[in-house]
Amino acid sequence: MSIEFEGREVAIQPGDSLAAALYRDGVRVFSRSFKYHRPRGLYCLSGDCPNCLVTVDGEVNVRACQCAAKDGQVVSRQNAWPSVDRDALNVIDKMHPLMPVGFYYKTMAKPKFAWPLAEGVIRRVAGLGFSDKSDAPVDIDRVNRHPDVLVIGAGVAGLSAAIAAAAGGKRVMVIDEQSTPGARVAAGPTKEAIDRLAATAASNPGIEVSSGTAAIGIYEGPMVLALAADYVAHIHPQAIVIAAGGMEVHRIFPNNDLPGIFMGRGAARLAGAHGVKPGERAVVWAEQPEAIEHARTLIAAGVVVEAVITAPGVDASGVGNRQIEGSIVEAKGRKKLAGVVVKTTGGATEEISCDILAIGSEIQQNMHLPRLIYDLPCILTGDSAHPGSSLSEAESNGREAGAAAAAGLPLYVNPPASKPRTCGTAGYVCLCEDVSVKEVEQAIDEGFESAELLKRYTTVTMGPCQGRLCADQLRAIAERKTPSEAARVSAPTTLRPPVRPIQIQQAAAGARHHIERHTPLHQRHLEMGATTLWAGPWKRIFSYGDMQAEYEAVRHRVGVIDVGTLGKFLLAGPDVVEFLERIYPMRVADLEPGRLRYGLMLEEGGVIIDDGTVCALEGGAFYCTVTTSGAERLESWMLDWREAWGLDVFVVNQTASLAAVNVAGPHARDLLQKLSDDPLDKETFPYLRHRRITVNGVSCLAIRLGFVGELAYELHFPAAAAVEMWDAILEAGKEWDIRPFGLDAQRLLRLEKGHIIISQDTDFETNPWKVSMEWAVKLDKPDFVGKAALVRAQRRTPRETLVPWQMEPGMATPPEGMTVTIGGNLAGRVTSSKMSYVLGHPVGLAWVVTEHAKEGGTITIGGAPATIAGHAFYDPEGVKLRA
């Protein structure tokens, strides 16, 4: 197994991270620093520093230490020219005086034309890799999870907490960013404890351990956003236990960024967990006892530990060739570490030659997640609560946290304030943005004193590590420089998600999880070559390829359209009449069974929100249809009013359970009569009536409506029978050359009749008066939704009125949305516009200022004259639809 690394093969072993595989192969410089192009090597091996960002299979800024090596991966380093090993841009490192902090604000600001030129160069020289801009969008799944207790971190404390919470009867989910619990922990007592606890957790059905899943933010709810390998999880627990562990403090001294310098845990991970020998001769800086374990791990891996530099009170006896009480004050070397300068407690300095330095400094909490808690039900445990806990402390502390989470105790635990650190006087504060102590001090001299200002000016804490290494050090420098204002400047900078790097496509996970609804006939339509369009959540049929042929079939012969997307509601109950009287502005109480009525639906402000039909059924129930896009919304709307009024009504949404087709055209009756024995003649079944008839052996509610202006029967029947019904209608219609028709044809058919489409021809302030539909409103009713507003709106003339218009034959059809002018002044806009085949000229609807909205008036649409019509263009008397 191997990967391709900058043109050569590098062997990998099972369980390797990219960093481990490359390091074993001899790679020492993993990146060039952001600004000065200084060589950088592995440092933390925990995904916390920016040093090992590489490009993997075209994906930029992948943390090599966190990325599992896979056979065939193509890996390269970033931010260097011509190569990371021999980076010519390293000359910038000699140019510090020319590049003070914020130099790009200062030096390129004038003359103005220089900045775009400079920007191009800076963008190429700085930055982290080049993203592949040819990417096709990648859809990543988003899942919702609802455990009782979420534990973040599968270390000793986290697993102990999970076991305790499960013992308390809770469903527990544990997430951890490593591939398995303890995967990156060197062999030793910690690893053994994790293995033991992980085995216990794995055998507990109440605990789900989700490895390879990184928490990247805690939000209100609480909701934890977590990244897994191929999906994004929204986790909604009742309580959260944060056991996100700790890390060593980033120590600052001259040349503290040389390759060969490791955090103590980093060196131990490389040697103990990956089996890669980090170097030949090591110095271990032990500020706390855990570092002695690191020294032992290195020795076990065959590294000669030249010296252990201990803080007072740390016992290193017997470990390493020498034990010196003191601290490291400087590192030596150019491209890699050659030695360290040690200052003993007595004050003497000594240089020790070595090729690796493991800094086992004070343990601080991984502060990001704890600092996102605010007042959410979270409890901190392990290093997240008590940085530097011993194993037994972590285990007992974890158990307490888990039990508390399970018991639902008041869990509002404030995170310990991160305390300011001591900080050296030279060296790199910020590895991400390449900012040295000197530069921070210079920025303070320029007046940027508080940590928040320093952060913005120097960009310290704003790089890939998001302040993990540098946030507290920044405050330490600020306090040292301006001690009198310590209280003010030491306020920690605000931390925000994401805690871990996130791809844009991960941030957009689920953004395209559209619900796409299909009628039972959808597949039939596609087989017939139909094109579709969105209508609310539905995919509807736009056309079957020849809109004019579809149109002609309806006008002259017969056509059929799938209207199964209509919102369909059955309403019943003791108060149903009262309910409908209040929901609709027209009268419903006098509607006899077998009859139907067109109804607008208004919101409280009198604005039209939908329209449809109300059919009075035998036995006191009603069947109501609403528009395709309105069904979902109007269901909740009706239910809301039902509760507000306290009426006893059942509202049954039959939108999905019923199919509907509209058979329309002069031969519609002839066609249906072939499929039905029920009487369909004009006398028995006239216009604006509905009857239950049997068509093709299926009981249908047949409704005689006139949306398209022809003799038409709208059939509503069980969705399961849809395909057979459709096929039977098309078969029976062959003798009249039947055509299925889509929305495009339907829109012209209805436009010739002057029918409006709610939300195409109306807007958010359209009331019935403005569209001349007074006939659909009965203000003498006691009350209905919108009445209060309409009564008042009636007192004034609306500013604009919707009118039908037509143009002379031969004129071009103006686009919908075109402005309407009168005498050169803006006077309205076109909402619908189409070429009428039957009339031979363009027709449409438009908003026109009311004083000019008179039948016969002339308006100008896009420079062309049009005449306002007074009524439907086609069959104004409605003879055809009553046939």
Partner 1 sequence: MSHFHIKTPFGYRPVSEFSYGGEVRPPLAPDAPDEEAIDHLWLRANVNGVQRERWFHTSGTRRWYTIVRDTRTNLVLAQPGEEYQEGSA
If one asks whether residue 679 binds partner 1 (CB under 8 A), the answer comes out as no
Task: Enter the DSSP assignment of 770.
Answer: G
Shortest Å, Cβ 652 to partner 1: 11
Q: Rule CB under 8 A: say whether 222 interacts with partner 1.
A: yes
Residue labelled with tokens 């399961």? 720
Beta strands in 131-183 (DSSP E): 141-145, 149-152, 172-176
Q: Which of 312, 447, 619, 782 binds partner 1 (CB under 8 A)?
A: 782
Is position 119 an interface residue for partner 1 (rule: CB under 8 A)?
A: no
Q: Is 814 exposed, middle or buried (0-12, 13-18, 19+ CB in 10 A)?
A: buried
> Which residue, 535 or 652, has its beta carbon nearer to partner 1?
652
Per CB under 8 A, contacts with partner 1 among 359-378 are 375
CB of 248 to partner 1, least distance (A): 34
Rule CB under 8 A: say whether 219 interacts with partner 1: yes
Our CB check for partner 1 shows the closer of 417 and 779 to be 779
Contact (Cβ atoms closer than 8 angstroms) between residue 232 and residue 147: no
Residue 570 DSSP SS3: strand
Amino acid (one-letter) located at 62: V
Applying CB under 8 A, which of residues 13, 83, 144, 548 lies at the interface with partner 1? 144
Span of 172-180, 217-225, 418-426, 488-496 interacting with partner 1 by CB under 8 A? 217-225
Selected binder of partner 1 within 70, 146, 595, 799 (CB under 8 A): 146
Q: Min. distance of Cβ 495 from partner 1 in angstroms?
A: 19
In the bound state with partner 1, the residue whose beta carbon lies nearer, of 146 and 682, is 146
Q: DSSP assignment, residue 82?
A: B
Q: Between 792 and 871, whose beta carbon lies closer to partner 1?
A: 792
Smallest gap, in angstroms, from Cβ of residue 685 to partner 1? 35
**Binds partner 1 by CB under 8 A, chosen from 496, 595, 792, 854:** 792
Unique residue bearing structure tokens 């989910």: 173
| Total chain residues near partner 1 (CB under 8 A) | 27
The smaller minimum CB distance to partner 1, of residues 637 and 726, is found at: 637
Query: Mutual orientation of helices 471-481 and 437-445 as an angle, nearest 10°?
Result: 50
Residue 771 to residue 606: CA distance in whole angstroms = 12
- How far is the C-alpha of 260 from the C-alpha of 356, rounded, in Å? 5
Question: Which tokens sit at 381?
Answer: 């445990």
- The contacts found for 26-30 with CB under 8 angstroms, 24 or more apart, are 28/259, 28/260, 28/336, 29/77, 29/84, 29/85, 29/259, 29/335, 29/336, 30/54, 30/64, 30/77, 30/84, 30/259
Question: Segment 586-625, which members bind partner 1 (CB under 8 A)?
Answer: 604-605
Nearer to partner 1, 223 or 403 (CB): 223
Q: What are the start-end ranges of the H helices in 348-429?
A: 391-407
Residue 575 interacts with partner 1 (CB under 8 A)? no
* Residues 586-607: b if buried by 16+ CB within 10 A, e if exposed: bbbeebeeeebbbbbbbeeebb
* Shortest Å, Cβ 604 to partner 1: 6
141: contact with partner 1 by CB under 8 A: no
| Contact region with partner 1 (CB under 8 A), list: 206-214, 233-241, 284-292, 744-752 | 233-241
- Min. distance of Cβ 494 from partner 1 in angstroms? 18
Contact stretch for partner 1 (CB under 8 A) within 218-226, 273-281, 304-312, 396-404: 218-226
> Measured from the CB of residue 148, what is the shortest distance to partner 1 in angstroms?
10
Nearest to partner 1 of 59, 603 (CB atom)? 603
Cβ nearer to partner 1, comparing 631 with 881: 631
* Smallest separation, CB 169 to partner 1 (Å): 15
What CA dihedral angle connects 296, 302, 303 and 304, to 10 degrees? 90
CA distances for 423 relative to 246, 489, 672, 844, angstroms = 19, 15, 89, 76
- Structure token digits, residue 333: 């070397």
Of the candidate spans 230-238, 550-558, 559-567, 609-617, the one that interacts with partner 1 by CB under 8 A turns out to be 230-238
Q: Which is nearer to partner 1, 639 or 812 (CB)?
A: 639
Distinct helix (H) and strand (E) counts, the chain: 21, 46
Name the one range near partner 1 by CB under 8 A: 327-335, 553-561, 639-647, 772-780: 639-647
Question: Can residue 787 be called a binding residue for partner 1 (CB under 8 A)?
Answer: yes
Residue type, 561: I
User: Which of 425, 636, 760, 858 is in the footprint of partner 1 by CB under 8 A?
Assistant: 636
By beta-carbon proximity to partner 1, the closer residue of 377 and 564 is 377
Paired strand residues for 436:
428
**Tokens linked to 342:** 């040690």
Alpha helices in 363-470 (DSSP H): 391-407, 437-445, 451-458
783 touching partner 1, by CB under 8 A:
yes
Name the one range near partner 1 by CB under 8 A: 68-76, 100-108, 636-644, 850-858. 636-644
- Residues whose CB is less than 8 angstroms from the CB of residue 562 and which lie 6 or more positions away in sequence, other chains included: 519, 521, 525, 540, 541, 659, 660, 661, 726, 740
Angle between helices 156-167 and 391-407 (to 10 degrees): 30
**Residue 221 binds partner 1 (CB under 8 A):** yes
Q: Of 256, 309, 302, whose CA–CA distance to 279 is shortest?
A: 302
Residues 36-95 that bind partner 1 (CB under 8 A): none
Other C-beta atoms lying within 10 Å of the C-beta of residue 278: 26
Q: How far is the CB of 223 from partner 1 (least distance, A)?
A: 4
Smaller CB separation from partner 1, 86 or 792? 792
Classified as helix, coil or strand, 298 is helix
CA dist 45 and 66 (Å) reads: 8
* Cα distance between residue 441 and residue 453, in whole Å: 13
What single-letter amino acid sits at 175? I
| DSSP assignments along 528-568, one per residue | TT-EEEEETTEEEEEESS-HHHHHHHHHHS-EEEE-TTSEE
Three-state DSSP at 792 gives helix
Least separation, in Å, of the C-beta of 220 and partner 1? 5
Cα gap 717→521, rounded to integer Å: 13
Q: Shortest Cβ distance from residue 238 to partner 1 (Å)?
A: 8
Indicate whether 496 belongs to the interface with partner 1 (CB under 8 A): no
Cα–Cα distance list, 143 to 213, 229, 514 (Å):
13, 13, 14
Min dist. Cβ of residue 624 to partner 1 (A): 17
Which segment (109-117, 283-291, 474-482, 786-794) binds partner 1 by CB under 8 A? 786-794
* Interface with partner 1, residue 169, by CB under 8 A: no
- Answer for which of 88, 533, 644, 720 binds partner 1 (CB under 8 A) is 644
Does position 657 bind partner 1 by CB under 8 A?
Answer: no
Structure token digits, residue 62: 């992948």
The only residue of 195, 393, 452, 635 in contact with partner 1, by rule CB under 8 A: 635
CB of 627 to partner 1, least distance (A): 18
Window of 186-194, 622-630, 764-772, 780-788 that interacts with partner 1 by CB under 8 A: 780-788
Q: Which is nearer to partner 1, 224 or 541 (CB)?
A: 224
Pick the piece of the chain touching partner 1 (CB under 8 A) from 551-559, 658-666, 783-791, 868-876. 783-791
220 binds partner 1 per the rule CB under 8 A = yes
Examine residue 639 and tell whether it contacts partner 1 (CB under 8 A): yes
Q: Which residue in 230, 590, 592, 643 binds partner 1 (CB under 8 A)?
A: 643
Positions touching partner 1 (CB under 8 A) are 144, 146, 219-223, 234, 236, 238, 375, 604-605, 632, 635-636, 639-640, 643-644, 653, 782-783, 787-789, 792
